[in-house]
């Protein structure tokens, strides 16, 4: 028998000061809410405190999230918190963007269909039509918005309209090979993740795996990061690497690189939708 249990999560950051943890845990205890998971971190460089707390009712009844939010507001004000409260039972609405490389898209949709990625995928947008049959076979809408240098503003306006219409919580660039304009970056601030086909910061630009191969590197990797107006320099969420040797061909670099891209992007998306990622200036705090 499956037992239904509500779960909520509070994520916060604020200036480090005495009594934060006691105030948060005390509020939960006083309201018949028990902690299921908790993480804290104090950044010594900025003296900023970060906290993520997953909690659930202990009194056998469902709790209203707005009541919890209203009750916690006075604590947040007292400690000057930048905070969010979420119901972990609610599935974030995701839009995936892709171009001609499908490996990350295939992996995300497989994880979603298998129940490993707790999201609601609302569709896929692309500047090419190559992935349409696969996406529609999965029962998802496919939005083909071709783009040229002359039509980029118009194409991005369509993307923005689609994001707003579908009430998208997170856009995932699954090897979407277009540079987003400052306008689109601003519209998606804090809610757009990109997978970079390299272990940043190195080998930027075209054919990074071939660059790495030509340099004789012994390790390749991938980086998932938030999208900002600084190309490929947004706050990093997840990274991973694979060891290689002199015997690998450039094509083997590509295959291995695509494997790690899938892993890193899926990990970053999952952490983000589980509210494990908190921005910290040019960096992130990840309670993984």
Q: Which residues contact 267 (CB under 8 A, 6 or more apart)?
A: 224, 238, 240
**Does residue 125 carry a pLDDT above 60?**
yes
Cite the DSSP H helix spans in the chain: 20-30, 65-78, 103-113, 132-137, 152-165, 182-187, 208-215, 250-273
For residue range 147-160, list pLDDT tens digits in order.
Answer: 999 999 999 999 99
The reply to whether domains 8-87 and 93-286 share a CATH topology is no
Confidence band, pLDDT 50/70/90 cuts, at residue 197: confident
Confidence band, pLDDT 50/70/90 cuts, at residue 1: very low
Would residue 240 show up in a list of annotated catalytic residues for this protein?
no
Q: Which CATH superfamily hosts domain 93-286? A: Formyl transferase, N-terminal domain (3.40.50.170)
For residue range 63-75, list pLDDT tens digits in order.
Answer: 999 999 999 999 9
Burial (CB count within 10 angstroms: exposed 0-12, middle 13-18, buried 19+), residue 242? middle
**To which residue do tokens 């707390």 refer?**
53
Give the class (CATH, top level) of 8-87.
alpha beta
Note the pLDDT of residue 135: 98
Task: Decide: helix, strand or coil at residue 49.
Answer: strand
Helices 208-215 and 250-273: angle between axes, nearest 10 degrees: 130
For residue range 254-282, list pLDDT tens digits in order.
Answer: 999 999 999 999 999 999 999 999 999 98
Instruction: Provide the whole-model pTM.
Output: 0.91
Note the pLDDT of residue 200: 67
Q: Among 241, 231, 235, which residue's Cα sits nearest to residue 263?
A: 241
Note the pLDDT of residue 201: 59
**Does residue 3 carry a pLDDT above 50?**
no
Note the pLDDT of residue 21: 98
For residue range 13-52, list pLDDT tens digits in order.
Answer: 999 999 999 999 999 999 999 999 999 999 998 999 999 9
Residue 244 phi/psi, 5-degree rounding, is -135, 170
Q: Which of 43, 47, 64, 232 is catalytic?
A: 232
**Per-domain boundaries in the chain:** 8-87, 93-286
């Amino acid at each position: 028998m499956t037992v239904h249990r509500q779960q909520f999560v509070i994520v916060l950051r604020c200036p480090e000061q005495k009594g934060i943890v006691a105030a948060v845990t005390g509020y939960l205890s006083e309201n018949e809410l028990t902690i299921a998971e908790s993480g804290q971190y104090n950044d010594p460089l900025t003296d900023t405190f970060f906290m993520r707390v997953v909690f659930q009712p202990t009194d056998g009844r469902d709790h209203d999230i707005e009541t919890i939010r209203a009750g916690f507001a006075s604590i947040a004000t007292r400690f000057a918190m930048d905070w969010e409260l979420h119901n972990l039972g609610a599935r974030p609405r995701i839009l995936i963007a892709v171009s001609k490389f499908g490996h990350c898209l295939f992996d995300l949709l497989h994880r979603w269909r298998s129940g490993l990625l707790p999201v609601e995928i609302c569709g896929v947008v692309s500047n090419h039509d190559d992935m349409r049959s696969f996406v529609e076979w999965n029962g998802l809408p496919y939005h083909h918005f071709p783009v040229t240098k002359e039509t980029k503003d118009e194409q991005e306006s369509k993307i923005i309209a689609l994001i707003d219409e579908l009430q998208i919580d997170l856009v995932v660039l699954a090897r979407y090979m277009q540079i987003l304009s400052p306008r689109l970056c601003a519209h998606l601030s804090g809610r757009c993740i990109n997978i970079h086909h390299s272990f940043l910061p190195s080998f930027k630009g075209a054919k990074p795996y071939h660059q790495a191969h030509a340099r004789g590197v012994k390790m390749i990797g991938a980086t998932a990061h938030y999208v900002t107006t600084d190309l490929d320099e947004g706050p990093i969420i997840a990274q991973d690497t694979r060891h290689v040797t002199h015997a690998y061909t450039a094509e083997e670099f590509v295959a291995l690189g695509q494997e790690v891209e899938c892993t890193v992007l899926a990990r970053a998306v999952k952490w983000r939708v589980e509210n494990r990622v908190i921005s910290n200036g040019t960096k992130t705090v990840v309670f993984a």
